[in-house]
Amino acid sequence: MKKYYIRTFGCQMNVNDSQKMAGILKSLGYEPARDWEEADVILVNTCSVREKPDQKVLSALGEFKKIKNKNPDAIIGVCGCLAQRAGYEILQKAPFIDMVFGTTNIHHLPQLLKEAEAGNKAVEIIEDIDANETELDKYPTVRDNKYTAYVTIIRGCDKKCTYCIVPYTRGKERSRRIGEILQEVQWLVEDGVKEIHLIGQNVTAYGKDLGDVKFYELLYAVANIDGVERIRFTTGHPRDLDEDTIKAMAEIPQVCEYLHLPIQAGSDKILKAMDRGYTQKEYLHKIELLKKYIPNIALSTDIIVGFPGETYEDYLETIKVLKEVEYDQVFAFKYSPRPGTPAAEMRMTEKPETVSKWLNDLINLQKDISFKKNREYENKIVEVLVEEEKDGKFVGRTRTNKLVHFESRHNLLGEIINLKISKANRFSLEGELAEELV
Ligand code: 5AD
Ligand code: SF4
């Protein structure tokens, strides 16, 4: 049997695309390789959101070149956001690559593979969105985790934040038809999935292009499917997160008490330069509503430090928000100019060393806040979905998205159980089963 190996960079959309590609390869009779050295097909699913992932991809390609010397018949393909943006450049830099395809051409993998196997360069990067891109939805995913699954509900993004490459690599917003989404959820549940994770670059914009359905209505519809025990969604945009959605989150028992709501910056001046479409006050009002309707909600966010024009005073506004909201988790990045975006034309104002120090200080502050939030769980009973067994311990997630490690003599994989939290670590929790189970 032929074997495949897929290396994935970037966000949940890329992870889901890789799971679909694995599904396509499975349908062609391939099985997963333990590592890339024994693979007949190697796919590198790339990200281009910052310069660092770009570089990581290019250095990974260097590694994969070695396999061509060992196994000249192995087919190497590059796809994802960097391929969409700079596929031809990649081919020039790494001529040993056999296949390059864009973010909306994934369903053509079977034909591309045939072409490459015949010894030709198989390249398909179209600038426009492939008219038949939803063909991809027909393939089942191959997932590491049996009990939780991503479901794409919307592709692309219309927001045009001035720093962001996504509208250029993933195109405009296209919502999937609600019937198709519900059908996929139904199949997943029949396959043993308990937690449905709805994904998209901007899920809160779901339905705007369809006109007859809203995001919160989709939440109710998914919750109505028998067997859906938990619902999550990523990523929401603060501008589109309305009170109807927040109410639905509070009202639907399966929607987990967790939300990732990127703020990016605390200063109104910088938010405007980023074209985020909200002020700090408007953002904080949404957080207030979330905490009012869902008092035990856990929150996370994304921050960019060092955007062009950001002064120390602007940066302190971000710090102020972090202290006020007390996020459970913060993903903070140094601003990275992306080719072709409006911000790339703006003048960088701070020295890189200064921005690095700001970023470090911010991360250190947040470490303490995250630890404090985790300690609030000690001695509490929490509901956990047991996802995997690792090094003799079970690992699960709370509804608030915290990882919990615990021991048991019973096989509890896939179960939703109650655990008492015995210890909080900085990035995870440790738990104990209720007496009667052990
Ligand atoms: N520079 C730095 N960070 C960026 N992000 C997106 N574009 C850039 C950029 N040009 C961050 C944002 C986004 C996350 C996925 O990546 O915080 O929410
Ligand atoms: Fe990276 Fe953005 Fe593409 Fe996701 S959509 S893979 S974060 S560039």
Q: Are 140 and 246 contained in the same domain?
A: yes
Helices 81-93 and 51-70, axial angle in degrees (round to 10): 50
Q: Are 397 and 417 contained in the same domain?
A: yes
HSE, CB side, 13 Å, CA atoms: give it for residue 378: 10
Q: Which CA distances in Å does 91 have to 34, 112, 122, 165, 370? A: 27, 15, 11, 21, 43
389's enclosing H/E stretch is strand 381-390
At 86, which CATH number? 3.40.50.12160
At 411, which CATH number? 2.40.50.140
Nearest atom in ligand 2 to 48's CA: 8
- In degrees and rounded to multiples of 5, residue 390 shows phi and psi of -145, 130
302 ligand 1 Cβ < 6 A: yes
Q: Are 310 and 266 contained in the same domain?
A: yes
Measure 247 CA to ligand 2 centroid, in angstroms: 30
Task: Tell me the pLDDT tens digit for each residue of 112-163.
Answer: 999 999 999 999 998 889 989 999 999 999 999 999 999 999 999 999 899 9
Q: Are 367 and 412 contained in the same domain?
A: no
Q: Are 346 and 240 contained in the same domain?
A: yes
Q: Which residue of 82, 164, 355 sits with most ligand 1 atoms within 8 Å of its CB, as the best mutation to test the pocket?
A: 164
Q: At which of 357, 375, 393 does a domain end?
A: 375
164 ligand 1 Cβ < 6 A: yes
Q: Which residue of 15, 51, 163, 334 sits with most ligand 1 atoms within 8 Å of its CB, as the best mutation to test the pocket?
A: 163
Q: Are 167 and 288 contained in the same domain?
A: yes
Q: Are 57 and 190 contained in the same domain?
A: no
Measure 106 CA to ligand 1 centroid, in angstroms: 24
Q: Is the pLDDT of residue 373 over 60?
A: yes
> Of 200, 197, 129, 136, which Cα lies nearest the Cα of 168?
129
Q: Contact at 8 Å (CB) between 24 and 59?
A: no
Query: Average pLDDT over the chain, rounded to whole?
Result: 95
What pLDDT is stored for residue 435 in this prediction?
63
Q: At which of 63, 92, 124 does a domain end?
A: 124
Q: Is the pLDDT of residue 329 over 60?
A: yes
Q: Are 329 and 426 contained in the same domain?
A: no
Ligand nearest to the CA of 51: 1
Q: Is the pLDDT of residue 96 over 60?
A: yes
Averaged pLDDT, 22-42: 94
> Of 381, 389, 387, which Cα lies nearest the Cα of 419?
381
Task: Tell me the pLDDT tens digit for each residue of 154-187.
Answer: 999 999 899 999 999 999 999 999 999 999 999 9
Q: What is the DSSP letter of 141?
A: P
Domain encompassing residue 25:
3-124
Q: Are 404 and 350 contained in the same domain?
A: no
Task: Tell me the pLDDT tens digit for each residue of 193-231.
Answer: 999 999 999 999 999 999 989 999 999 999 999 999 999
What pLDDT is stored for residue 127 in this prediction?
82
The DSSP result for 221-275, as a single string, is HHHTSTT--EEEEE---TTT--HHHHHHHHH-TTB-SEEE---B-S-HHHHHHHT
Q: Are 198 and 314 contained in the same domain?
A: yes
Q: Are 368 and 401 contained in the same domain?
A: no
Handedness of CA 30, 35, 40, 46 (dihedral sign): positive
Q: At which of 124, 145, 175 does a domain end?
A: 124
Q: Are 175 and 197 contained in the same domain?
A: yes
Measure 86 CA to ligand 2 centroid, in angstroms: 14
Q: Is the pLDDT of residue 436 over 80?
A: no
Q: How many domains does the chain have?
A: 3
Three-state secondary structure call for residue 307: coil
